[in-house]
Each structure stands twice: as C-alpha cells, then as structure tokens.
Structure 1
Amino acid sequence: MVKTQLEARGIKDAATLLAMQNVPRHLFVPENKKPYAYTDGPLPIGEGQTISQPYIVAFMTEALQLKESDKVLEIGTGSGYQAAILAKIVDTVYTIEIVKHLAFKAKDRLQDLGYANVNVKWGDGYYGWPAKAPFDAIIVTAGADSIPQPLIDQLKIGGRMIIPVGQYKYVSHLVLITKKKNKITRKKLIPVRFVPFTRDKKLGGNK
C-alpha cells in the first residue's frame, strides 16, 4: 500500500509514510471488509460512514506539515484510523465523532490498540473542542458547505486546517487553511468525495 498507493503518487513526508506503514488498517474496518483493507479506495464502516482511501488519509496528513510537539483536533473520528495515523506523528490527538455508536467503538478500539495519546469525544464537531484549544492543526474528514468559524477560532496563530469544502453532496475540494496573525489564507488543493458534514443541535457545543 505504502509503495504503490502513496510513494508512487507523490507522498514524500517520512513521518506520514512511517505512520501509514505501522498502523494496521485492517483492524479499523468491519470483519467482512478486512480482505479489502489495503485496497486503493474508501470502505464502509457502518452508520452511513466510511474509512477514507489510504492516499487521501496520507495526503491530508502530509498537507498539515505536522511536528512531534503538535496538538491536533480531528473532526469525524469514524473508525479511528486517521486518529491512529496522527497519534504516530504528534504529541496529542483530540477527535470528535457525531455518531454515538462509532464514537464509543472507536474509543474502545484505540484504547485496546494502545493509542494512549488519543482522546475521543461524542459530539457535534462544528463547535470543535474549546476546552482543549488552541490547536496546532485541525483535520476535518467530512465534506462541509462552508468552513466552521469555531474551528478557525480554535487554531493557533500559524496553525493549519485541512477540510473538504463544496456546495454539492459528496463532492468537494480539500482546502488548506493557514491562520496568520492578521489574516486567514485558503488554498484549494485536490477534488475529493467525502460523506457530508452532519450536525446535531441537541448535542450543542463541546466543552
């Protein structure tokens, strides 16, 4: 997977490649999908959600230019695979999942696999995780029609965020956002397809 899907397509960051090599992707997919865990595509994980294509996981991770000391927020835990990749690279990962069943399943899986630096919360990711802000980087793994202001607010100065943004269901572009002292810069990267960013007003903000 690493050689044919990542390195062959231009992923160069050593930390990203090492993490992708060392995280057992087959442990983050349903039993009946394990034979396809390392194929070049997304896979369903239940509740209408997916585990992203390996290349997209690597591309988004590399784009954030992560450092070992970083504190990262992920919106959309899913099966916990992206959080596990991040956990191999950075100091601390905070991840929020809106689907209760997936949130608690991912939390148990990550704990069982020894990812002690990952913190999982069930909640509406639109609001981020204010109590743990600011973050060096934020990664959003669901397609949004706009960039949530609370997430921009929770980025450190100099922080980066990558998020799929688009006006049509499932179709969007990855956008890399950098927060500078006096402005926010946005750079459109590649076209992608993600499950939609969902909201739940009953959950409210995350404290």
Structure 2
Amino acid sequence: MNMPLNTSADTSNLVEQARFNMIEQQIRPWRVLAEDVLDLMTQVRREEFVPIAYRSMAFMDIEIPLNDSVEEAERTGQMMLPPRVEARMLQDAAVKTTDRVLEIGAGSGYMAALLGRSASQVLTLEINADLVEFAKENLRSSGIINVEVRMGDGSRDLSAEGPFDIVMVSGSVAEVPQNLLSLLTEGGRLVAIVGQEPMMRATVVTRNGNSFEVKQPWDIVAPRLVNFTEPSPFRF
C-alpha cells in the first residue's frame, strides 16, 4: 500500500501550527499580552532567521546556536534567545512607530526584524563578520528595508550614532553599560539582561531628564555579549 506523500500545503500547515503553539504555549503564558507584539511574532517568520542546520528548532523554547560550533557560539554569545524572551523584551521596550532604535548584537537579524516592523528606523550592530552578512541576507529576504546592519562593537563609544529612543541589548551584560545610557533621548528606554549567573534580571532603564528610572520585572539567564565590562574577581 502506497502512503501519501506530504505536500507543500501539509508542510505549511505544520509550520503554522508550530508557530501558533510557540505563541500560545510559550509566549503568552510568559505574560506577553500586548497584541502588537503577539501579531509581530506571527508575522515575522522566525524559521527564516535560523541557520539551516537548526531550522527544525525554530519554534522551540531554547537558545539556538548561530555558529557551527555550539561551544564557540555559547562562549561568544552567538545564540538566538528563546522566543518568549525576545517577545517579552520587545514588550518591555514599548516601541513606537516614530522611534529610532539601536540594537546591540544583531545575531541572525531576527530581533532587528521585529524592531524594524515596530519602529521608524533601526541600527543593529554585530561584532562577528559572518553574522553581519547572515543578518543582512535574512532581513533582505524578509523585505525589511528600515534596518541597517553594521559591523561594530557595542561596548565602544557610540555617541556619534545617537540619540536613540530605544536601545535593545540582545544578550546579557554584567552591568548596565553607561555608554549606551548616554545615547537615550528624553523618555528613551534601554532594555538589557543584567547580572551574573545564576541570577540575571531583565532591566528596563528609562531616561527622565538627568535621572534614570530602573525596573527589573523578571529573571532570566542569557548568553554573555563580549567586550562589555566584567566585575573584577574577588581576591583576598
């Protein structure tokens, strides 16, 4: 007896079911309730930003390596964050259509794509040359034209690039980078994952004149971005 072959329609239905499950079983239960964010997670095709070798993992609640060597990817922070983490960071940023956005750590370009669909203009910096090209191609294929991917180190002085309404740090840092806070407009928001293992906090910093309001609404552990300041090891 011949078994029917899967058609492209069958495959498409499976992908859309997996996307639906990602949103309803991972993202929404993680207190991501903003309809504009949930819509974006539906519209921006996450699987198209995942390396081909890991595409079957696109909708899983895991970090995905962006390097052939998993160990190297983990060491250098070249990982896609889980979908629920990206969605909640996006919700916390409260991006407006008029916002100018800076992202540190372009990776595959997926967060930049979400930001690009939300904001007026996005500049995303990536320190790895291969990922710069990967992100550019992914964004080009997705038809997103208001995102500029540039090779750059987010730990350096970026004052010539500012100001920005949103700074999104797509990875973890030991402390809130002062060079990035200085780029914020009045009312601007910086979103980052801050701290040391085993305890890191999602941190939202809002500029109010010469002062900054800090909120840390949830806990998560995320891969470290390279070159940002680390605390000195304690010695007797």
TM-score (norm 2): 0.79
**Aligned with 2:66: secondary structure?**
strand
Report % sequence identity. Answer: 32
SS in 2 for 1:77: coil
Asked whether 1:102 is paired with 2:123, we answer no
Pair 1:14 & 2:35 matched? yes
Higher Cα Rg: structure 1 or 2? 2
Number of aligned residue pairs: give it: 199
Which runs of no fewer than 5 residues in structure 1 stay unpaired? 201-207
**1:3 corresponds to:** 24
Equivalent of residue 216 in structure 2, options 179, 182, 188: 188
After TM superposition, give the deviation of residue 184 of structure 1 in Å. 1.0
The letter of the residue matching 2:159 is P
Match among 120, 145, 149 for residue 120 of structure 1: 149
- Whether the aligned pair in 2 keeps the contact of 1:171 and 1:194 (CA below 8 Å) is no
Matches within 5 A, 1:51-200: 51-127=80-156, 129-168=158-197, 171-199=199-227
Q: CA deviation at 1:129?
A: 4.0
Q: Given that residues 65 and 79 in structure 2 are in contact (C-alpha distance below 8 angstroms), is that contact kept between their aligned partners in structure 1? A: yes
Which blocks of at least 5 consecutive residues in structure 2 are unaligned? Answer: 1-21, 229-236
- Displacement of 1:171 in angstroms is 4.9
Native 8 Å contact 1:104 1:122 kept in 2: no
Residue 133 of structure 1 aligns with an amino acid whose one-letter code is G
Q: Is the 1:127–1:151 contact (alpha carbons within 8 Å) kept by the matching residues of 2?
A: no
- The answer to whether 1:25 aligns with 2:46 is yes
Moved >6 Å (runs of 4+): none
- CA RMSD in angstroms, aligned pairs only: 1.7
Distance 2:166 2:147 in 1: 14
Distance 1:147 1:9 in 2: 24
Deviation at 1:157, TM superposition (A): 1.1
1:143/1:171 contact within 8 Å kept: no
- Aligned-residue offset at 1:182: 2.9
- Secondary structure of the residue aligned to 2:171 is coil
